Chains A and B, each alone.
Chain A
Amino acid sequence: MKSTIFKVAANYLLPLLLLFSVFVLLRGHYESGGGFVGGLIASIAFVLHFFAYGLESARSFFRFSTATLIPIGLSISLFSGILPMFAGKPFMTSLWFKKPVAIIGSVGTPLFFDIGVYLIVVGVTLTILFTISENVK
């Protein structure tokens, strides 16, 4: 797309959307939101940039292939599930830090699970979109 308005808007929207996605990710445990929605919003941020500036520019945000985010996300989620097993609790039991962290709120294994989901969603969505647009050319 050649529109200047769109390009400028995309520049402003990218950090805003990324911040918003993190906000949605963090509020997700007790209120609506979570890793999946957050991941989708983050992917939209990159997709907007890709529409405005093209594939190469959007890809340059990532040092590695976006597909690498998938196993990393899976590992983080799996780790959050395995962690309680070392404390002698059943698989996937939620463990929380006693004191809440400022701004973020309570930190515990469910948060790590959601971060994993977030990364998987970003990885899958962007890999699919980038691959399709590569083949279209």
Chain B
Amino acid sequence: MTSNYILAPILVQLVTAILLIFFWQRVTVQRVLSTVGNTFSFITSLILAIDIWNFGTQTLHAGNWQPPFGITFVCDALSATLILLTSIVGLAVGLFSTIGISINRIKYGYFPIFHFLLMGLQGAFLTGDLFNLYVWFEVVIISSFVLITLGGKKMQMEGAIKYVTLNILASTIFLTAIGISYGLTGTLNMADLAQKIALVENRGIVQVTALLFFVAFGIKAAVFPLYFWLPSSYHTPPSAIAAIFGGLLTKLGIYALIRMFTLIFIPDDYTINLFIIIAIMTMFTGAFGMMNKKSIRKVFSYLIVCHIGYLIAGLGLYTEKSLSGTIFYLIHDIIAKSNLFLIAGLIYKIRSSTDMRRLGGLYKDYPLLSILILFVLLSISGVPPLSGFWPKLNIISEALRSGNYTLVFSIIISSFVTLVMIAKVWAEVFWKPTPKDHPEQDDTFAPLSTFKKVTMILPVFLLAFISFMIAMRPGTFMNLSDKIANELMHSDDYIENVFRVKNIQN
């Protein structure tokens, strides 16, 4: 089936961004327009996702060029789900930004760039062409470079240099790998590549190419040896920006890995072992890295790294069930991690600090808000009935079945460390009495008008509500993940779908 509709999420973001540039420096207009754009994007993505879930994959050949020559956009269940999640997070973070981002930053074009970033993400999830994927990655990282440096504080620049350097390195490796794939097969259409790469006789060079892709996406996803740019840069920009980075940007790397290694490069034993080892190392570095950190945003950054490990583990086990666990974890993680950074932003607004030694007494001052935050924190650490628990269960049971006890052991240890750290954050920030030297005027949240307070808490509540829904109805999400995993493991359907759609004759 062909339909222009699958491009709607991209076009809505693009139109919003263009309109926002027309109203450069008009702060109120920017805030309203961005929220309206995000709402539209949410509605179109929801319609698209429901359509795809019910009626299966859709394909569009941009410019009416036959595959494999033109650029193909393919929306399968995985893409549709991620597009919907991106719109939800975009809506929440956009709403939070209207108050949480300073007027100066808005005047220097925060909102247009924010929408270009979202457009890049939507495009990357949709495209079925390897080079086009690279272009969307560039759209994303160039927007993120602007966002991470916007405001120009010294600390931000320091974080940005590490961020920019490592990301450019990753892009270079990505481009090299694309070049080699093109040299091997003469095509860049992912479906076509999947068929042709299987026929290449020199398997050694195919494996090297696969590993180059793994390194490139691994850097973006912050897996073990090259994760260090993440904790040293994500705590520097304002929380709203960190929320979109933490929730979606690293997950883009994971998405690309899943797509590459289920569709094009079917991993052999060597690659699978490598995945498992790297997953274990990522979990441990994330878990132990956060133990001695004092800033809550640093703790949360290491938490991202730690949980990337689970996602890689699910991919590394490479069974349908474990892949379903990864997808489910991805759904949970995108929502929860974005929320975590929004919460860090709220705490900063309330106390003007993110240092755990200087925080305290939040539960006494804001009891209801604290309960809401506690819920999110517990969801992240995967306490049984909540949303982080179910996907982890899937991955652990699958690891047990394959007899990989080292992996089971590492998942349990790192979950335990996560729980301890989350408990520590709760104890230090919320329960501990307010430190003596804490001046009252640090609270920049209390003087805000009720409307502004609601606009800041609503996104947190919205995302927490989705986490709550995942916890209440895990079966629904499990079925969805199973369906997606099934599609991914049977990539013939994807390939067939790309080539079946014929051109519309003139």
Interface residues of chain B: helix, strand, loop or mixed (majority): helix
CB of B18 within 8 A of CB of A91, answer no
Considering only residues 76-92 of chain A, those with a C-beta below 8 Å from chain B are 78, 82, 84-85, 88-92
In the assembly, what is the distance between CA of A71 and CA of B21, in Å?
A: 6
CB of B22 within 8 A of CB of A90, answer no
**B contact residues, range:** 10 to 19
Is B2 located at the chain interface by the 8 A CB criterion? yes
Is A58 located at the chain interface by the 8 A CB criterion? no
In the assembly, what is the distance between CA of A74 and CA of B63, in Å?
A: 18
- Complex contacts, B14 vs chain A, CB 8 Å: 74, 78
Residues 7-21 of B, flagged 1 when their CB comes within 8 A of A and 0 if not, give: 100010011001101
Residues 54-86 of A, flagged 1 when their CB comes within 8 A of B and 0 if not, give: 000000000000011011001100100010110
22 residue pairs of the A-B complex, CB under 8 angstroms, read: A67-B21, A68-B22, A70-B21, A71-B19, A71-B21, A71-B22, A74-B18, A74-B21, A78-B18, A82-B11, A85-B4, A89-B504, A90-B2, A90-B4, A90-B61, A90-B63, A90-B64, A90-B504, A91-B7, A91-B62, A92-B62, A92-B63
Number of interface residues of A (CB under 8 A): 17
Chain B nearest CB from A2 CB (Å) reads: 35
In the assembly, what is the distance between CA of A95 and CA of B4, in Å?
A: 16
In the assembly, what is the distance between CA of A75 and CA of B15, in Å?
A: 8
Is A125 located at the chain interface by the 8 A CB criterion? no
Chain A nearest CB from B70 CB (Å) reads: 9
Residues of chain A having any CB pair with chain B under 8 Å: 67-68, 70-71, 74-75, 78, 82, 84-85, 88-94
Chain A nearest CB from B331 CB (Å) reads: 28
In the assembly, what is the distance between CA of A113 and CA of B64, in Å?
A: 16
CB of A93 within 8 A of CB of B18, answer no
Is B60 located at the chain interface by the 8 A CB criterion? yes
In the assembly, what is the distance between CA of A74 and CA of B14, in Å?
A: 9
Take A71-B21, A91-B4 as given contacts and tell me if A78 and B15 are in contact as well, using a CB distance cutoff of 8 Å.
Answer: yes
- Complex contacts, A84 vs chain B, CB 8 Å: 64
- Complex contacts, B18 vs chain A, CB 8 Å: 71, 74-75, 78
CB of B64 within 8 A of CB of A93, answer yes
- Complex contacts, A85 vs chain B, CB 8 Å: 4
- Complex contacts, A78 vs chain B, CB 8 Å: 11, 14-15, 18
CB of B504 within 8 A of CB of A67, answer no
Query: Lowest 4 CB-CB distances: which A-B pairs, in order?
Result: A71-B21, A93-B64, A92-B63, A74-B18
CB closest chain-B residue, reference A70:
B21
Residues 488-506 of B, flagged 1 when their CB comes within 8 A of A and 0 if not, give: 0000000000000000100
Take A74-B18, A78-B18, A91-B4 as given contacts and tell me if A67 and B62 are in contact as well, using a CB distance cutoff of 8 Å.
Answer: no
CB closest chain-A residue, reference B20:
A71
In the assembly, what is the distance between CA of A78 and CA of B11, in Å?
A: 9
- Complex contacts, A90 vs chain B, CB 8 Å: 2, 4, 60-64, 504
- Complex contacts, A67 vs chain B, CB 8 Å: 21, 24
Chain A nearest CB from B48 CB (Å) reads: 14
Q: Which of A74, A78, A89, A91 has the most CB of B within 10 A?
A: A91
CB closest chain-B residue, reference A67:
B24
Since A70-B21, A88-B504, A90-B61 are in contact, a sample of 15 more A-B pairs with Cβ atoms closer than 8 Å, ordered by chain A residue number, is A71-B18, A71-B21, A74-B18, A78-B15, A90-B2, A90-B4, A90-B60, A90-B63, A91-B7, A91-B60, A91-B62, A91-B63, A92-B62, A93-B64, A94-B63
CB closest chain-A residue, reference B21:
A71
Chain B nearest CB from A72 CB (Å) reads: 8
In the assembly, what is the distance between CA of A74 and CA of B4, in Å?
A: 20
Residues of chain B having any CB pair with chain A under 8 Å: 2, 4, 7, 11, 14-15, 18-19, 21-22, 24, 60-64, 504
- Complex contacts, A89 vs chain B, CB 8 Å: 64, 504
- Complex contacts, A75 vs chain B, CB 8 Å: 18
Chain B nearest CB from A36 CB (Å) reads: 15
CB closest chain-A residue, reference B503:
A90
Chain B nearest CB from A78 CB (Å) reads: 6
- Complex contacts, B22 vs chain A, CB 8 Å: 68, 71
- Complex contacts, B62 vs chain A, CB 8 Å: 90-92
In the assembly, what is the distance between CA of A82 and CA of B62, in Å?
A: 11
In the assembly, what is the distance between CA of A42 and CA of B19, in Å?
A: 25
In the assembly, what is the distance between CA of A67 and CA of B25, in Å?
A: 12
- Complex contacts, A82 vs chain B, CB 8 Å: 11
Chain A nearest CB from B15 CB (Å) reads: 7
In the assembly, what is the distance between CA of A68 and CA of B22, in Å?
A: 7
Q: Which of A71, A75, A78 has the most CB of B within 10 A?
A: A71
CB closest chain-A residue, reference B15:
A78
CB closest chain-A residue, reference B19:
A71
- Complex contacts, B504 vs chain A, CB 8 Å: 88-90
In the assembly, what is the distance between CA of A68 and CA of B18, in Å?
A: 11
Chain B nearest CB from A25 CB (Å) reads: 20
Chain A nearest CB from B391 CB (Å) reads: 35
Chain B nearest CB from A109 CB (Å) reads: 10
Chain A nearest CB from B117 CB (Å) reads: 16
In the assembly, what is the distance between CA of A8 and CA of B267, in Å?
A: 68
